[in-house]
Amino acid sequence: MLKKLFGRTNQSNKEHESENFSDLLENIDRKNMPRHVAIIMDGNGRWANGRGLIRSAGHTAGVKALKRALNAAIDFKLEALTVYAFSTENWKRPTAEVDFLLKLFSDYLEKELNEMDQKNVHIDFIGRVDGFSPGLQAQMDDARKRTENNTGVRFTVAVNYGGQDEMVRVAQTLAREVKMGSCQPEDIDAELFESHLDTSGLPAVDLLIRTSGDMRLSNFLIWQSAYAEFWFTDTNWPDFTKEDLAEAIVDFSRRDRRFGGLSNQK
C-alpha cells in the first residue's frame, strides 16, 4: 500500500507503460516541473547477484545508469540533479569493495568530465571530501574549476556524505561563530542554518527518487528533503532509464503540493 502512495514499483506493471514520457514532459508547464531532483542510486549489488555476477559488476553497470540519468536531466532541462554516490557509512563495507568504488569514481571523472563540460554541466561535490586521497581531491577540484561557469544542470555528487553529519558540522560552525561574537544565538534561524549547508545555493529538493525497492532516506539530504515528494521503484539502479526518470517527473507534476497549507483546489 505504501509503495502505491509514493510511486510506481514494478516495471512490468507500469500504469503508463505505453505513454511516451518524453513527449509528456514537453507538454508540462515548467511551474509543475521539479527544480531539484535527488536520487538514491540503490541496487547495484542486487542487480549483480540476480545475474550471478560479482558486486563490482553491478557498480560498473551503475555508472552507465548515472550517465543516462545525467543526460536525461540535461534533455529535460532540470535545474539541479543530486546523486548519492558514497555515504559516510559506506566505509563499513569490505576494503576491496570500497577501493573499487573509489577507483570507479576516479575513472568516471577522468572519462566523463570533458563531455560534461561540453554539455554545459556544472559539477560539484558535497560531503567530507577531505576524507579522500589527495589525488582524488585534486580531480574533484579540477572538475569544479573546469565547470564552475557552466550554466546548465547543476550536477552534485554526494561523496563521503551523511545528512546527520552535515547538520552536526553546521551546528559546530554556528557555535564557533557565536563564540567569536560574529553572530548571536537569536540570529540563528532556518535561513542562516541553510546557508551553511553543503548544498547552499541549491533549491530545496522537490523530487527524491530511490531505486531498488527500499523506502527510506538512508541519511541523505535530510534537511533539504523536508518537503520533497518521494518516488520509489523496485527497479535496480543499473536498469534505471530515461523513461523511468520521465515517469517520476510526470508523476510529480500531477501531485498537489501544499507545504503544510490547504490545497489550491479547495
Residues 17-30: b if buried by 16+ CB within 10 A, e if exposed? eeeebeeebeeeee
CA distance 44 to 118: 28
* Annotation says 90 is catalytic: yes
* Annotation says 13 is catalytic: no
Amino acid 245 reads L
CA distance 225 to 207: 8
Full 3-state SS string of 104-161: HHHHHHHHHHHHHHHCCCEEEEECCHHHCCHHHHHHHHHHHHHHCCCCCCEEEEEEEE
Give the other-Cβ count within 10 Å of 82's Cβ.
25
DSSP per-residue string spanning 14-39: -TTTTS-HHHHHHTS-GGGS-SEEEE
Look up cell 521539479; give the residue: 34
CA distance 63 to 122: 18
Residues 109-128: b if buried by 16+ CB within 10 A, e if exposed? beebbeebbebebbbbbbbe
* Catalytic residue of the set 42, 124, 234, 251: 42
- Residues in Cβ contact with 110 at an 8 Å cutoff, skipping those fewer than 6 apart: 139
* Catalytic residue of the set 71, 90, 150, 219: 90
- Give catalytic residue positions: 42, 90
